[in-house]
A and B are shown apart, each in its own frame.
Chain A
Amino acid sequence: MAEEKRLMKGNEAIAESAIRAGCRAYFGYPITPQNELTAYMAKYMLEKGRVFIQAESEVSAINMVYGAAATGARSMTSSSSPGISLKQEGISYACGADVPCVVVNVARSGPGLGGISPGQGDYFQSTRGGGHGDYYHIVLAPKSVQESADLTYEAFELADRWRMPVMILADGLIGQMMEGVVLPPPIDPDSLPPKPWAAGNRSGGREPNHVTSINLVPAELEAKNRERYARYDEIKKAVNRYEEVRTEDADLVFVAYGTSSRVALGALEMARAEGLKAGLFRPISLWPFPYARLAELAAKGKRFLAVEMSMGQMVEDVRLAVAEALSKGGEKARLSRVDFYGRCGGMIPSEAEVLAEAKRLLAAAPASVPANAAPKE
């Protein structure tokens, strides 16, 4: 029988979905706006006899995740922007030691302590390997409570498959709002396949397993990093998520993820009602970023308006996609251009102001004018 639809907060849906994905150990530290997630895990992980610890710090929480995940257990932590900064050391170690885990960022506005209202200023930190050293990890950005549940569930699969941390990059709005959600089926953690690389339960005289990121021999460390980057190339082929709305005939394509994509979708509908041909491209995997499809649209000469709750971070990936289209030649790519509209500090742009910006851009430079040379700031 199919699961019935439940009304849940995004934070709670993420927590419940993690439990259903077979998360055996959760470690967290209080921070707004994700506190419902930790409280939910406290209640239901303990009820199920699984591991829940309120750690003494974000730093400890991610290292507890590292330890638990090193034994092969599905493990997770969640936090919000300033706390995610503290976790970056542990995330770097997990990437360096190829330890799978799930990290949820219910992002707020920054920098510094900033505010507790939603923000998208953690894009660079999330998608560029926010800690030290050469690495990336998968980043998935939900736009709704349903997608928060679905992507969290899938994050555990992806983490195990690719042996890396997977980050869910939500924000305070998605974490706090309530929507209907159909939850995925529960997985018994004991039914999951064993991980032969994990520490513990050594049997049959096998050689010891060492979960570590250290290597003091430069040639060996370089080889290890190259091996990891070869894996990243495979991930780029396998994980490439986006949603498109009416891009085919669009004169202007909004590019936005998470909360700002909901605003952009509203602006799109208002524009269409007025006869303006607007479209939407919504990256769901932020790393790997869906450059290829965006480059295809750029090759058709599409114009893009990146809409973000930041001073402009994802827009740089949009420009890279356009640059890729340009590098492949083709007359129409030269018609493509990228503009940016953003609010920050916890401000959420309204549909009306995004529409107004779209109209202003289309009036200032009609679609037929090549204008891709200099990115506008």
Chain B
Amino acid sequence: MEVAFGHPVSLKPIQTKYCPGCGHGVIHRLVAEVVDELGVQAKSIIMNPVGCSIWADLYFDFDSVQPAHGRTPAAATGVKRCLPDHLVVCYQGDGDLAAIGTAEIIHAANRGEKFTAIFVNNAIYGMTGGQMAPTTLVGQKATTAPYGRDPGVAGMGYPIRVCELLATLGGTRYLARGSVHNAVNVRKTKQYIKKAFEAQMRGLGFGMVEILSPCPTNWQMGPIEAEEWLERNMVPYYPLGEIKNTLEAAAGEAPAGAR
């Protein structure tokens, strides 16, 4: 009898350390499923960041490189340039990518580095215990924004829409925003990841999939309540879908062998 659906080969069959209702486990699975479908496990390298998902190397059955906080896209640049036929996945949270590593992601994207960033946006610092993130919504509470994020009097700035920010850069070819708060969006997100990974393997330039992801522990909610909160509050501010897709044009340029 043929097995139609099973545990991804690229994901180790162990229980994760992530909290109940956390999006990382689902996102890990989506990445692993796509890697399996593309048949590139032996040539996949995960760049695991600083944050909750620093544990990624425990779960993915890939080689991994662990850089300093926020430096992930710079290190991924070094990896991918030396191993251009590999699938290099830069797995980053919002603090890593949109705060301490802003320079690194903007310039890697602008150079058109041919790796994929999986940007997990849960609007909070998870591992350090619920501090305000660059993507924390206005009014949302955090340990360092105890009265809610206040761009006015307290000068806390505004939540950054990273896809839209990167879309202006010539090097970016594929930018999509998905979410894992319900089954429909989990399926859509997988399609975005697949498009981005396929584009990477064809050498078509920088791609990023931003994924809205619940953090019930630091949002101080139950898992179901967190999914509802994400849909009600995050989705309106962070529109879902393909924000930029110039893959066809990129494929047409086909600068094979050009530097």
**Per-residue interface assignment for chain A, residues 80 to 119, with 1 indicating a CB less than 8 Å from any chain B CB and 0 otherwise:** 0000000001100100010000000000000000000000
Judge if B67 is at the interface, Cβ distance under 8 Å. Answer: yes
> Contact check: which of B42, B54, B104, B106 meets A63 at CB < 8 Å?
B104
Judge if A375 is at the interface, Cβ distance under 8 Å. Answer: no
Interface residues of chain B, those whose CB is within 8 Å of chain A, are 42-43, 45, 47-48, 54, 57, 60-68, 71, 74-83, 86, 103-104, 106-107, 111, 259
Q: Which of A211-219, A269-277, A307-315, A319-327 sits within the interface?
A: A211-219
Chain B nearest CB from A76 CB (Å) reads 11
> Contact check: which of B45, B62, B81 meets A68 at CB < 8 Å?
B81
**Chain B residues with CB under 8 A of A342:** none
**Chain B residues with CB under 8 A of A199:** 45, 63-65, 79
A202 touches B78 (CB 8 A): no
With A89-B68, A199-B64: A64-B43 Cβ-Cβ less than 8 Å: no
B63 touches A200 (CB 8 A): yes
- Give the distance in Å from the alpha carbon of A51 to the alpha carbon of B114 in the complex: 14
**Chain A residues with CB under 8 A of B81:** 25, 51, 53, 64, 68
**Chain B residues with CB under 8 A of A291:** none
A67 touches B74 (CB 8 A): yes
Q: Which of A54-62, A146-154, A255-263, A363-371 sits within the interface?
A: A54-62
**Chain A residues with CB under 8 A of B104:** 56, 59-60, 63
B259 nearest in chain A by CB position: A46
Chain A nearest CB from B88 CB (Å) reads 9
**Chain A residues with CB under 8 A of B45:** 199-200
Which chain A residues in 304-349 approach chain B with CB under 8 Å?
Answer: none
Chain B nearest CB from A214 CB (Å) reads 6
Among A27, A61, A72, A210, residue most surrounded by chain B Cβ atoms (within 10 Å): A210
A60 touches B66 (CB 8 A): no
**Chain B residues with CB under 8 A of A27:** 78
**Chain B residues with CB under 8 A of A71:** 78-79, 82-83
A208 touches B62 (CB 8 A): yes
Q: List 22 A-B contacts (CB under 8 A).
A: A55-B107, A60-B103, A60-B104, A66-B71, A67-B67, A67-B76, A67-B78, A67-B82, A68-B78, A68-B81, A70-B75, A70-B78, A75-B78, A75-B82, A90-B68, A93-B67, A200-B43, A200-B79, A201-B83, A208-B62, A210-B65, A212-B48
B79 touches A63 (CB 8 A): no
- Give the distance in Å from the alpha carbon of A75 to the alpha carbon of B48 in the complex: 21
B63 touches A202 (CB 8 A): yes
**Chain B residues with CB under 8 A of A59:** 71, 74, 103-104
B65 touches A211 (CB 8 A): yes
A208 touches B61 (CB 8 A): yes
> Contact check: which of B61, B77, B83, B86 meets A64 at CB < 8 Å?
B77
B43 touches A63 (CB 8 A): no
Chain A nearest CB from B70 CB (Å) reads 9
Interface residues of chain A, those whose CB is within 8 Å of chain B, are 24-25, 27, 46, 49, 51, 53, 55-57, 59-61, 63-73, 75, 89-90, 93, 97, 199-203, 208-214
A25 touches B64 (CB 8 A): no
**Chain B residues with CB under 8 A of A90:** 68, 71
**Chain B residues with CB under 8 A of A202:** 42-43, 62-63
- Give the distance in Å from the alpha carbon of A57 to the alpha carbon of B86 in the complex: 26
- Give the distance in Å from the alpha carbon of A213 to the alpha carbon of B68 in the complex: 9
Chain A nearest CB from B223 CB (Å) reads 25
With A199-B45, A208-B61: A63-B103 Cβ-Cβ less than 8 Å: no
With A55-B74, A202-B42: A70-B79 Cβ-Cβ less than 8 Å: yes
Chain B nearest CB from A150 CB (Å) reads 26
B54 touches A214 (CB 8 A): yes
B71 nearest in chain A by CB position: A63
Among A27, A60, A209, A210, residue most surrounded by chain B Cβ atoms (within 10 Å): A60
> Contact check: which of A46, A56, A69 meets B78 at CB < 8 Å?
A69
> Contact check: which of A49, A200, A212 meets B83 at CB < 8 Å?
A200
**Chain A residues with CB under 8 A of B42:** 201-203
A57 nearest in chain B by CB position: B103
> Contact check: which of A57, A61, A213 meets B66 at CB < 8 Å?
A213
A212 touches B57 (CB 8 A): yes
With A90-B68, A93-B68: A64-B78 Cβ-Cβ less than 8 Å: yes
- Give the distance in Å from the alpha carbon of A262 to the alpha carbon of B130 in the complex: 57
- Give the distance in Å from the alpha carbon of A67 to the alpha carbon of B63 in the complex: 13
A207 nearest in chain B by CB position: B61
A64 nearest in chain B by CB position: B78
- Give the distance in Å from the alpha carbon of A71 to the alpha carbon of B82 in the complex: 7
Chain B nearest CB from A173 CB (Å) reads 31
B67 touches A63 (CB 8 A): yes
B64 touches A212 (CB 8 A): yes
B71 touches A60 (CB 8 A): yes
**Closest 4 CB pairs between A and B?**
A67-B78, A67-B75, A68-B78, A212-B66
**Chain A residues with CB under 8 A of B259:** 46, 49
- Give the distance in Å from the alpha carbon of A53 to the alpha carbon of B104 in the complex: 13
Chain A nearest CB from B76 CB (Å) reads 6
Chain B nearest CB from A203 CB (Å) reads 6
**Chain A residues with CB under 8 A of B63:** 199-200, 202, 208-210
**Chain B residues with CB under 8 A of A89:** 68, 71
With A89-B68, A208-B61: A63-B75 Cβ-Cβ less than 8 Å: yes
- Give the distance in Å from the alpha carbon of A212 to the alpha carbon of B103 in the complex: 22
**Chain B residues with CB under 8 A of A61:** 74
Chain B nearest CB from A202 CB (Å) reads 5
> Contact check: which of A24, A67, A208 meets B79 at CB < 8 Å?
A67
**Chain A residues with CB under 8 A of B77:** 53, 60, 64, 67
- Give the distance in Å from the alpha carbon of A272 to the alpha carbon of B126 in the complex: 69
